[in-house]
């Protein structure tokens, strides 16, 4: 541009290049005071920049236009630019290369006409041809540069896409594949090689896949492959892989059939490793089953809690009944001559009452989750009493055979709990023999010289009592045998069992330091062998003759009980023991009598459950007035919170109903001696 303007004698020059469907002014050169100034514009062409009619003519004809004096009459005199700018000398040259218009060079001089002489025009035409070549080369270079840049960007995008896809496949454990059934050619992405755990140097084949398919899924896998090869239809399949080290994977395959350029069908699809999802599903199903089981146990526990509350509610009244049986039974026993049959009757009444009291205590202990007593117990007697009860309710088609030594077999435990053990195991055995059968119960001493592993527990060397209960019933399979001692597990139909019987047996036996061995087979019956540690010396100490109960010396007892019969009976027992009872049927009256003469009473016996002011509340007021006064609180069912409440109230001792005369005598002697 600079050379053209300088050698042509022009004041101004424009380089116009086509860009798509429009023409743009790429550069403008103007003569200044000292030099030619060139500006790069890149702006759209408008009629205000040059004679637009001349430009269109040159572009259309690809021939030059020279106006020595544009102000004179010419075909272009009406052009708006020439009219307003008063142009004089005008030259417009086409830039052509191989008959292709590359651009236009426009020059003008508005000072004088005839500026563009033939010599200058010849030079300009030479420059124009060189400019056309340069512009074309520059254009081609620009296009090539853009193409290279676009290609490099596309390659970079492709590499990035492939890297993202590979990473995404790794993260999602999903690989892609292609398969041509006609040629057998298979393409795998890197993730599929990882899923099947094959080296990438190996060429994948259907047979290679078949080697990894789990033996149990091979038939199904082959059927899908054959059907896909024949039908050329989309398919989806789940199967397992068994790896060389024995691990099992679960995969899900989906494939889409599409025709290639040869007309054959290719399958394009994905292989997903769903092992983690399968394991998660299994855990969810297991958790759901466990939750349902826990909900069932919760419902059963709520039922048992209701039973416990019911037991607590009736315990007070039931113990009051037993208290009368104890009191009057003891009186009959003491007043009856040794040779009278009434003596034996009275003893049997007291034995039955003792068993009734133990049963109530056991129910309450169960409802409070408490442990049983730990005293010497003759298992021989417990088993004999239990079997005597069972004989009366055995079905006619079931026989009972038993054997036991003559000498007592002693263990440390709770007689009532051991009674429950025998009763529950025998009861289950009887139910297992639905039609006919024989129940065999054997009790014997056993001595182990070495440790012995049982089905449910391990015994160390020592001396034991062995109780074997065998039935000829339906027996159990191994799955049932593994769960028989689980709480709330039962094989009985709804309404016939709580699932707590054997779990209670297991808890009682293990709590006593014993173990259980169970042997069973379907249709061959079951054998339960219960081992408990022997303790003969303990029973010898417990079996020593009991001394006569201590007697009082006329001490005055403040006796408070709202049950009239129980109040009269307890007062009579106290009188027989040498005390002077002052009986009151309500706490307020008793408190008023005490307030009137606080020093006239030596000891207090009060029931806890009283209308209005409770026994604990009464004890608190009495203790506040006389801290040295012994107070005995009696309760049929106080719950675990009663003991700390009683201690805070100043109670000396807490007794559980029903009371026996010996228990009353020893307790009063103890608290009076303690406060003497």
3-state secondary structure 289-347: HHHHHHHHHHHHHHHHHHHHHHHHHHHHHHHHHHHHHHHHHHHHHHHCCCCCHHHHHHH
What pLDDT shows up at residue 542? 44
Confidence class for position 674, pLDDT limits 50, 70, 90: low
Residue 374 CA to residue 377 CA, distance in Å, equals 9
Cis amide leading into 282 (omega within 30)? no
Is residue 243 classed as helix, strand or coil in its secondary structure?
coil
Selection from 548, 551, 546, 547 nearest residue 669 by Cα = 551
2-144 and 556-674: same fold? no
At residue 602 the predicted structure's pLDDT band, cuts being 50, 70 and 90, is very high
Q: How confident is the model at residue 495 (pLDDT cuts 50, 70, 90)?
A: very low
Confidence of residue 96 (pLDDT cuts 50, 70, 90): confident
pLDDT category, 504, cuts 50, 70, 90?
confident
Torsions phi, psi for 343 (to 5 deg): -60, -45
Which stretch of 87-101, 138-152, 554-568 has the lowest confidence by average pLDDT?
138-152
> What residue has token string 């892609």?
176
Using alpha carbons only, what angle is made at residue 501 by residues 500 and 506, rounded to the nearest 5 degrees? 95
Question: Minimal CA–CA distance to 632: which of 551, 564, 561?
Answer: 561
Residue 552 DSSP one-character state: -
Q: Nearest-CA neighbor of 128 among 109, 149, 103, 153?
A: 103
User: Highest-confidence range of 68-72, 360-364, 666-670, by mean pLDDT?
Assistant: 666-670
CB 584 within 8 A of CB 590: yes
Domain 371-542: which topology? Answer: Heat Shock Protein 90 (3.30.565)
* Average pLDDT of every residue of the chain: 84
In whole angstroms, what separates CA 15 from the centre of its chain?
78
Mean pLDDT of 262-287: 89
| 319 neighbors 327 (Cβ within 8 angstroms) | no
Alpha-carbon gap, residue 169 to 159, rounded angstroms: 15
Contact 59, 32 (CB under 8 A): no
The lowest-confidence range among 22-36, 191-205, 299-313, 361-375 is: 361-375
Q: Kindly state the DSSP code that residue 485 receives in the 8-state scheme.
A: T
CATH for 2-144?
3.30.450.40
pLDDT at 594 over 90: yes
Closest CA to 633 of 624, 322, 310, 623: 623
Least confident segment among 179-183, 316-320, 457-461, 645-649 = 316-320
Helix axes 341-367, 415-432, angle to 10 degrees: 80
Measure the CA–CA gap between 12 and 38, rounded to whole angstroms: 10
Q: What is the pLDDT of residues 371-381, one digit of tens each?
A: 556 788 899 98
pLDDT at 546 over 70: no
Cβ atoms of residues 639 and 312 within 8 Å? yes
pLDDT of residue 498: 53
Question: Looking at residues 475-479, what average pLDDT do you find?
Answer: 86
**Other C-beta atoms lying within 10 Å of the C-beta of residue 620:** 18
**Domain layout of the chain by residue ranges:** 2-144, 173-273, 371-542, 556-674
Other Cβ atoms less than 10 A from the Cβ of 486: the count is 14
Number of H helices, E strands in the chain: 19, 25
**Which pair of tokens denotes residue 467?**
């109780």
In order, the DSSP letters of 41-91 are EEEE--TTTS-HHHHHHHHHH---EEES-TTSS-TTTT-HHHHHHT--EEE
Instruction: Give yes or no for residue 593 having a pLDDT over 90.
Output: yes
Which among 446, 474, 471 is positioned nearest to 460, based on CA atoms? 446
Per-residue confidence (pLDDT) for residue 309, from 0 to 100: 67
Q: What is the pLDDT of residue 366?
A: 55
The residue-averaged pLDDT of 337-364 equals 77
- Residue 112 is inside which H or E element, if any? none
Q: Which strand ranges, in their side-by-side order, compose the sheet holding 556-560?
A: 580-584, 556-560, 603-607, 631-635, 653-656
Burial (CB < 10 A; 0-12, 13-18, 19+), residue 628, is: exposed
**DSSP alpha helices (H): ranges in 266-274?**
none
Question: Who has greater pLDDT, 3 or 309?
Answer: 3
Give residues with Cβ within 8 angstroms of 580, minimum separation 6: 554, 555, 556, 557, 574
When pLDDT is averaged across residues 177-181 and rounded to a whole number, the result is 90
Confidence grade of residue 500 (pLDDT, cut at 50, 70, 90)? low
Under 8 Å between Cβ of 607 and 615: yes
pLDDT at position 308, please? 64
Given a cut of 90, whether residue 493 has pLDDT beyond it is: no
The class level of CATH for 173-273 reads alpha beta
Q: For tokens 């009872």, name the residue.
A: 581
Alpha-carbon span 466 to 459, nearest angstrom = 12
3-class secondary structure, 470? strand
The pTM assigned to this predicted structure is 0.41
pLDDT at position 443 is 94
In Å, what is the CA distance from 305 to each residue of 204, 309, 369, 370, 632? 65, 6, 10, 14, 30
pLDDT of residue 469: 93
DSSP letters spanning 10-54: -SEEEEEEEETTEEEEEEEEEE-SSSEEEEEEEEE--TTTS-HHH
Q: How distant, in Å, are the alpha carbons of 336, 541, 548, 549 from that of 545? A: 20, 9, 9, 12
Tell me the pLDDT tens digit for each residue of 109-150: 888 888 888 888 887 777 777 776 776 676 677 778 888 888
Residue 498: which residues within 8 A CB-CB, separation 6 or more? 300, 303, 304, 488, 490
User: Does residue 540 carry a pLDDT above 50?
Assistant: no
661 to each of 427, 439, 549, 573, how far by Cα in Å? Answer: 36, 41, 8, 7
Q: Which two tokens stand for residue 110?
A: 């508005």
Assigned CATH class of 556-674: alpha beta
pLDDT value, residue 543: 44
What is the C-alpha separation between 61 and 402, in angstroms, rounded?
132
Predicted pLDDT at 604: 95
Report yes or no: 663 and 392 within 8 Å, Cβ to Cβ. Answer: no
Whether 511 and 372 have beta carbons less than 8 Å apart is answered as: yes
């Amino acid at each position: 541009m600079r050379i053209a303007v300088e050698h042509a004698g022009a004041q101004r020059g424009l380089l116009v290049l086509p860009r798509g469907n429009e023409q743009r002014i790429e550069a403008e050169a103007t003569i200044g005071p000292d030099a030619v100034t060139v500006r790069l514009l890149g702006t759209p062409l408008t009629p205000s920049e040059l004679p637009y009619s001349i430009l269109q003519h040159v572009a259309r004809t690809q021939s030059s236009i020279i106006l020595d004096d544009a102000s004179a009459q010419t075909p272009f005199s009406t052009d708006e630019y020439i009219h307003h700018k008063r142009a004089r000398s005008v030259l417009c040259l086409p830039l052509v290369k191989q008959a292709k218009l590359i651009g236009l060079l426009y020059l003008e001089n508005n000072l004088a006409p005839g500026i563009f002489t033939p010599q200058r025009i010849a030079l300009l035409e030479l420059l124009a041809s060189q400019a056309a070549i340069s512009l074309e080369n520059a254009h081609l270079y620009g296009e090539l540069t853009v193409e290279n840049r676009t290609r490099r960007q596309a390659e970079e995008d492709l590499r990035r896409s492939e890297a993202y896809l590979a990473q995404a496949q790794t993260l999602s454990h999903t690989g892609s594949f292609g398969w041509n059934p006609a040629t057998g050619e298979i393409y795998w992405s890197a993730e599929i090689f990882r899923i099947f755990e094959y080296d990438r140097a190996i060429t994948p084949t259907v047979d290679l896949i078949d080697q990894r398919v789990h033996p149990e899924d091979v038939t199904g896998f082959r059927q899908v492959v054959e059907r896909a090869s024949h039908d050329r239809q989309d398919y989806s399949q789940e199967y397992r892989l068994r790896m060389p080290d024995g691990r099992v994977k679960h995969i899900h395959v989906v494939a889409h059939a599409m025709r290639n350029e040869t007309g054959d069908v290719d399958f394009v699809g994905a292989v997903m490793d769903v092992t983690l999802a399968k394991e998660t599903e299994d855990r969810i199903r297991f958790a759901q089953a466990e939750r349902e089981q826990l909900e069932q146990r919760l419902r059963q526990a709520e039922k048992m809690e209701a039973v416990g509350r019911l037991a607590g509610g009736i315990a007070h009244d039931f113990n009051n009944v037993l208290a009368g049986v104890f009191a009057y039974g003891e009186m009959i026993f003491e007043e009856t001559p040794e040779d009278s049959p009434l003596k034996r009757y009275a003893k049997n009444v007291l034995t039955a009452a003792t068993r009734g009291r133990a049963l109530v205590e056991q129910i309450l202990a169960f409802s409070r989750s408490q442990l049983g007593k730990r005293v010497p117990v003759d298992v021989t007697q417990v088993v004999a009493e239990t079997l005597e009860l069972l004989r009366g309710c055995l079905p006619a088609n079931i026989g009972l055979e038993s054997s036991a030594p003559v000498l007592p077999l002693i263990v440390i435990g709770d007689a009532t709990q051991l009674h429950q053990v025998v009763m529950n195991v025998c009861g289950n055995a009887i139910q297992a023999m639905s039609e006919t059968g024989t129940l065999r119960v054997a009790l014997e001493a056993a001595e182990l010289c070495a440790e012995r592993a049982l089905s449910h527990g391990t015994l160390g060397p020592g001396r034991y009592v062995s109780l074997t209960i065998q039935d000829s019933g339906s027996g159990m399979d191994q799955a049932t045998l593994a769960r028989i001692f689980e709480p709330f597990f039962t094989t009985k139909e709804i309404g016939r069992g709580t699932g707590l019987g054997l779990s209670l047996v297991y808890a009682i036996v293990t709590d006593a330091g014993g173990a259980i061995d169970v042997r069973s087979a379907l249709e061959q019956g079951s054998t339960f062998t219960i081992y408990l540690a022997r303790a003969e010396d303990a029973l010898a100490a417990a079996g020593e003759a009991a001394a006569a109960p201590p007697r009082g010396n006329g001490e005055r007892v403040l006796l408070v009980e709202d049950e009239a019969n129980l109040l009269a009976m307890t007062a009579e027992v106290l009188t027989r023991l040498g005390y002077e009872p002052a009986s009151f049927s309500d706490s307020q009256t008793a408190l008023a009598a005490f307030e009137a003469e606080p020093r006239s009473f030596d000891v207090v016996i009060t029931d806890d459950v009283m209308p209005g002011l409770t026994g604990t509340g009464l004890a608190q007021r009495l203790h506040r007035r006389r801290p040295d006064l012994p107070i005995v609180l009696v309760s049929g069912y106080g719950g675990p919170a009663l003991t700390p409440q009683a201690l805070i109230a100043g109670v000396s001792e807490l007794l559980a109903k029903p009371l026996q005369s010996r228990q009353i005598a020893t307790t009063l002697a103890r608290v009076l001696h303690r406060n003497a």
